[in-house]
Amino acid sequence: LPEFPFFRHGVHFDLNRLSEQLKMHFQLYVSYEKKAELELQLNKIGGLK
């Protein structure tokens, strides 16, 4: 998956203004990010037990 460094810096784009293809890429990227965040949180919770 390609890097979107500007997303990591907290810059949010209006997805409606992007082409459909870009929207798909962003949604994929965001879902990957969320999955990684969730796994990180689950690991933290698992470490506390």
Lowest mean pLDDT among 18-22, 31-35, 40-44: 18-22
Range of the domain at 45: 19-49
Number of domains observed in the structure of the chain: 1
Does any domain span residue 4?
Answer: no
Q: Is residue 23 part of a domain?
A: yes
Residue 30: pLDDT above 80?
yes
Query: In this model, does residue 11 exceed pLDDT 60?
Result: no
Long-range contacts of 27-33 (CB under 8 A, 24+ apart): 28/1, 29/1, 29/2, 29/4, 32/1, 33/7
pLDDT over threshold 60, residue 29: yes
Does residue 25 fall inside a structural domain?
Answer: yes
Structural domain includes residue 3: no
The whole-model pTM stands at 0.39
| Longest CA–CA separation in the chain, Å | 45
Per-residue model confidence (pLDDT) at position 15: 56
Task: Report the distance separating Cα 39 and Cα 48, nearest Å.
Answer: 14
How many other C-beta atoms are found inside a 10 Å radius of the C-beta of residue 46?
8
Question: What letter does residue 16 receive in the DSSP assignment?
Answer: G
